[in-house]
Structure 1
Amino acid sequence: MSRVRVGAVGAGWWATSNHFPILAGRDDVELVGVCGLGPELETVRDQFGFGMATTDYAELLDQGLDAVVITTPHDLHYPQAVEAIDRGLHVLVEKPVTLSAETGWDLAERVRAAGVHFLAPYGWNYKPFTIEAKRLVDAGHLGEVQHVLCHMASPTRGLFAGDTNHMRALWDSETSAPDPSTWQSPSRGGGYAHGQVTHSSALLFWLTGLRAASVMAKVSNGGAAVDLFDAAVIGFDGGAIGALSGAATLPDGNPYQVDLRVFGTEGVLLLDTERERVSLHRYDGQQWDLEIEPGAGAYECIVPPNRFIDLVTGASTENNSDADVVARSVELIDGMLRSAAAGGADVAVHERKATAP
């Protein structure tokens, strides 16, 4: 394939500040068309060199595309991804990819059936230090996972409960700020769980291969319309247990906190983006303490869009945030919110198949 013909649906703050500059800078990408709403659409088309602009998604899909980048409001991701996958297109979908366990696993099944590449751009899954942590886990140094701690906090109060313009300033977007009707609406997937815990849980599931089986959760809105704080106790397939927490109220300028601690039968893994440290210490005395450059723990999303194109061209075969990782994250968050709505009841995250007597 000489150049990957890419169409984009969604032309808001994140696409224009991150994905489009990356794609426009690649010689092996042709930006065929962009689909969106609002008066800035033609400006976006001209700024990044898209061949056409439209408000009609079907018209975009009819342009002979190879791949689609979806960065629309959360509740539109699933139907738009389905249309693209069913046409045999490769798809990058922003998080949260879907809002329910059923739709998350449906996408994974469709991706397998169609034989296309599917990537959710979780930036931390592509950091060199998380990749090395994954290598250590895959080598068996951790053993069988028995307990996990998964924590995330970020300076995102304004995104979920106030003026979203500060996010535009932080990410140098030249278009309008994030739409509050997306990030601050419960029915559209607003709130910290879908908006941020999706990151920490996807990192956990990619690193460990775990799958949540049950969850008891509480959320607090802190006066907002959506959850700003999340807490959960999780049971995983295979018997491991875990604790998860999330908070949207770090002061602006504070580094994001993603703190994973995984306890296995052979050792313990610590991964902390805020203090930029990764270690795996085994009970037999072997230890790995990774060297991480200062600032490397900060969130950025440069590798995922590039990796998506590399997967399409065949330049890479490594996908650290595929449809299976996405589905495991989505179903956990779905279960957390169902549990919280039921007063913290213990709910099943997925149906378990009956075993033969």
Structure 2
Amino acid sequence: MTESTSDITMNRIGIVGTGNLGIVLGKQFNQLTSAEITAITDIDSAALSRTATKLGVPETSLYNDYERMLDDEPLDAILIVTPNGLHYEQTVAALDRELHVLCEKPLTINTADAEALVERDELNDTVLMVGYQRHLNPGFIEARKRWALGDLTPKFITAEITQDWRHHFDKGTNWRMDTALSGGGHLYTTGTHVIDAILWVTGLTPKYVTAEMEWHDDIERLDKQSSIIIEFENGAIANVSDSGIVPRTREHIHIWDDRGAVYLEGREWDNRTMKKVNEDGSELSPYMNGGERKTKPEAFIESIQENVAPPATARDALRTTIVKEAAYESAAINERIEITGL
């Protein structure tokens, strides 16, 4: 029997933070039959008004103080799209009110806060989902079936992600240049995608991290580009390169095992593609070009309705945070860092 509209539970969503991503995800929520953006908060009144117009939210449900929105609005969940350093306190405030949370990555900017959210998440019935979209990409899901959920073992990994952040570094006024809000430089905000993806699809446990970084204005958290070696407990090695001072966005993750390899690749922010390489080096065709996939709002609402873990969890975020923090420590003191806590 087809579910009638009257049988669908409407999830009332509040947005904390506006900007392009908040608008994109807000529109995706409004396209669902079981979700609606009903309130928005932002410290920028002009941006708040523009976003409200685009998402159809009345002036009576607009706020400059997110805690007031959480207290005054009858919400079921919130979407957090603020600077990285605000994510932890805003997530905690929502969980304190028993709301579900979809928080953009990174979940936190230090390991202690990530550990605290994992502990809380695993004791609560509410959904806490992190916005790592590669967990929704069919190519990455297929790769995970091969390794993290399969019986093959990765041996050698190369990964690279690039993006043009030169305007941020040149101007120096964006929140990304304030490590209290960003957590770090390009690796912390963008490189986090490939580190998370490697850990998620392989299921490997990192043992050591060695990193070199080029810093912006000698601030040893504000990296412009980096080179990282991750050694895993099974003996596998990953070489990860990250740059924010090149003119185009490109990404690849190549993972080899005894049966061949999987290549995950993409340009700009288009869907990433996946292709397989046979044991003899020949390439399989056709490539998986991303195909149909859930949006982050779809996956989030599905997790709430079915009471299941979301595609990207707080524990996924913790594992990524631990590796990133080790990379910054290694680059700062020029030493190989042993990973603990995993």
- TM-score normalised by structure 1 residue count: 0.80
Counterparts of 1:180-329 in structure 2 under 5 Å? 180-188=173-181, 189-221=183-215, 226-251=222-247, 254=248, 256-274=249-267, 278-281=274-277, 283=279, 288-293=284-289, 303-314=295-306, 319-329=310-320
Contact 1:4 1:312 in 2 (8 A): no
Partner of 2:49, secondary structure, is helix
Contact 2:41 2:63 in 1 (8 A): yes
Contact 1:86 1:114 in 2 (8 A): no
Q: Give the corresponding residue for 2:5.
A: none
> 2:20 aligned with 1:13, yes or no?
yes
Partner of 2:109, secondary structure, is coil
Q: Percent identity?
A: 23
Partner of 2:157, secondary structure, is strand
Decide whether aligned partners of structure 1 residues 28 and 338 sit closer, same or farther in structure 2, where only a CA change above 3 A counts.
same
Decide whether aligned partners of structure 1 residues 92 and 302 sit closer, same or farther in structure 2, where only a CA change above 3 A counts.
same
> 2:43 aligned with 1:37, yes or no?
yes
Decide whether aligned partners of structure 1 residues 277 and 309 sit closer, same or farther in structure 2, where only a CA change above 3 A counts.
closer
Matching residue's letter, 1:232: I
Counterparts of 1:107-146 in structure 2 under 5 Å? 107-137=117-147, 140=150, 143-146=152-155
Q: CA deviation at 1:265?
A: 4.2
Decide whether aligned partners of structure 1 residues 274 and 58 sit closer, same or farther in structure 2, where only a CA change above 3 A counts.
closer
Q: CA deviation at 1:194?
A: 0.9
Q: CA deviation at 1:232?
A: 1.2
Counterparts of 1:51-70 in structure 2 under 5 Å? 51=58, 52-62=61-71, 63-70=73-80
CA distance in 1, matches of 2:26, 2:135: 20
CA distance in 2, matches of 1:130, 1:214: 24
Decide whether aligned partners of structure 1 residues 105 and 213 sit closer, same or farther in structure 2, where only a CA change above 3 A counts.
farther
Q: CA deviation at 1:117?
A: 1.6
More strand as a share of residues? 2
> 2:101 aligned with 1:91, yes or no?
yes
Partner of 1:7, secondary structure, is strand
> 2:331 aligned with 1:340, yes or no?
yes
CA distance in 1, matches of 2:110, 2:160: 22
Contact 2:144 2:150 in 1 (8 A): no
CA distance in 1, matches of 2:341, 2:150: 28
CA distance in 2, matches of 1:214, 1:67: 38
CA distance in 2, matches of 1:139, 1:38: 44
86, 92, 116: which one aligns with 1:106: 116
Q: Give the corresponding residue for 2:29.
A: 23
CA distance in 1, matches of 2:294, 2:218: 31
Q: CA deviation at 1:282?
A: 5.2
How many pairs were matched up? 324
Contact 1:74 1:182 in 2 (8 A): no
* CA RMSD, Structure 1 to Structure 2 (Å): 2.9
Decide whether aligned partners of structure 1 residues 283 and 139 sit closer, same or farther in structure 2, where only a CA change above 3 A counts.
farther
Q: CA deviation at 1:132?
A: 2.5
Matching residue's letter, 2:169: A
CA distance in 2, matches of 1:56, 1:110: 24
Decide whether aligned partners of structure 1 residues 88 and 239 sit closer, same or farther in structure 2, where only a CA change above 3 A counts.
farther
CA distance in 2, matches of 1:182, 1:213: 32
Q: Give the corresponding residue for 2:160.
A: 151
Gaps of 5+ in 1: 165-179, 353-357
CA distance in 1, matches of 2:177, 2:318: 23
Q: CA deviation at 1:250?
A: 2.8
CA distance in 1, matches of 2:21, 2:76: 22
Gaps of 5+ in 2: 1-7
CA distance in 1, matches of 2:287, 2:260: 19
CA distance in 2, matches of 1:83, 1:139: 34
Contact 2:261 2:278 in 1 (8 A): yes
Partner of 2:322, secondary structure, is helix
Matching residue's letter, 1:195: T
Q: What's the CA shift string for 1:132-191, capped at 9, x where partnerless?
A: 2233335636x1223322221123322x31459xxxxxxxxxxxxxxx442112232241
Decide whether aligned partners of structure 1 residues 181 and 11 sit closer, same or farther in structure 2, where only a CA change above 3 A counts.
same
